[in-house]
Amino acid sequence: MPLSSPPASPARVAELPLLGGADVRFHDMGSGPAVLLLHGSGPGTTAWRAWAPLATALASGGRRVVAPDLVGFGGSRAAAPPPYGRAAWTAQALALADHLGLERISVVGHSLGGAIALAVACARPEAVEAVVAIASLGARMALPAGLDALWASTPGRAQARALLELLHHRGAEITEDAVDARLEAMLEPGPREVYPALFPPPRDRRLDDVTLAPSELAAVAAPVLLVHGDDDRVVPLREGALALLAALPGARLHVFGRCGHAVPAERGAELERLVSRFLEDHV
């Protein structure tokens, strides 16, 4: 979740047969082995805001990068009303891969997107070559206070600053420009109207919805790289990555010190190298 708005990227829209029909906005860059990037949650989140640096680096390194807005975020809209949730977002990822003719993919997800990446690997093991789950949900846990605050966040300048402070490690400098950029994203009319329906209270139900059962995690056949910050207050390290590490048969873990939940923003260059090396080793 970058501290400032990245340059705009051309996007495409596909109509996919889910939730009664959905228009899905996605970015499609580069050529080579396909990588699907799935963003996290929080008001104002879009694929390009979440992934611009990593998407650009992977595409420049000889990969085809597809980064969709999950339905309910950014420019992706469902024709029918909710339910939103794990089933819909997993179906969206698989339907988009089918629409683009991607028979083999690697999946990289952040936070909520990490849980969906694992769900995609569980649903279609023959298609998924590798998974990178960053600050990822997916393991059973009680609702962390930080995640509850993230999902409950509403537009406003004070709220935008509080959100950035929550996402980054304690002591991180939050500039006024960063607050302005986050507030602008939170105030975009379409996503602002839809967002309350994505994570309604009681929010522990949504957390339960995106949690994978132990049998599902054990069935993930692809190699998995878990990446986490040691100061993550949204998905704490112990309940998040350490629990997933114990449950996933082919997982390894990299922990960044002095890093919060916003790993792609706080450790962008290091994350790019880490993900690139992992994909080179396994794809």
Residue 102 lies in a domain: yes
Task: For residues 48 and 52, give the distance between their C-alpha atoms in angstroms, rounded to a whole number.
Answer: 5
Residue 26 lies in a domain: yes
Residue 43 lies in a domain: yes
pTM of the model: 0.96
Domain with 107, as residue range(s), is 12-282
Residue 101 burial (CB < 10 Å; 0-12/13-18/19+)?
exposed
- Checking if the pLDDT of 5 tops 50, the result is no
Residue 2 lies in a domain: no
Total of domains in the chain: 1
Which active-site residues does the annotation give? 111, 232, 261
pLDDT tens digits for 98-136? 999 999 999 999 999 999 999 999 999 999 999 999 999
Residue 103 lies in a domain: yes
The DSSP string of 134-163 is: ES---S-----HHHHHHHH--SSHHHHHHH
Residue 64 lies in a domain: yes
Q: What share of the chain is helix, strand, coil (3-state, %, to 5)?
A: 45, 20, 40
Residue 3 lies in a domain: no
Read off the CATH number of the domain in which 37 is found: 3.40.50.1820
Look at residue 180 in the predicted model and tell me its pLDDT. 96
Residue 4 lies in a domain: no
**Contact between residue 11 and residue 190 where contact means Cβ atoms under 8 Å apart:** no
Question: Long-range pairs for 197-206 at CB < 8 Å and ≥24 separation?
Answer: 197/72, 197/81, 197/82, 197/84, 198/41, 198/72, 198/73, 198/82, 198/84, 198/151, 199/41, 199/151, 199/152, 201/152, 203/143, 203/147, 203/148, 203/151, 203/152, 204/142, 204/143, 206/85, 206/151
Look at residue 4 in the predicted model and tell me its pLDDT. 46
Q: What is the mean predicted confidence (pLDDT) over 254-265?
A: 98
Look at residue 2 in the predicted model and tell me its pLDDT. 44
What are 59's two structure tokens?
């595409």
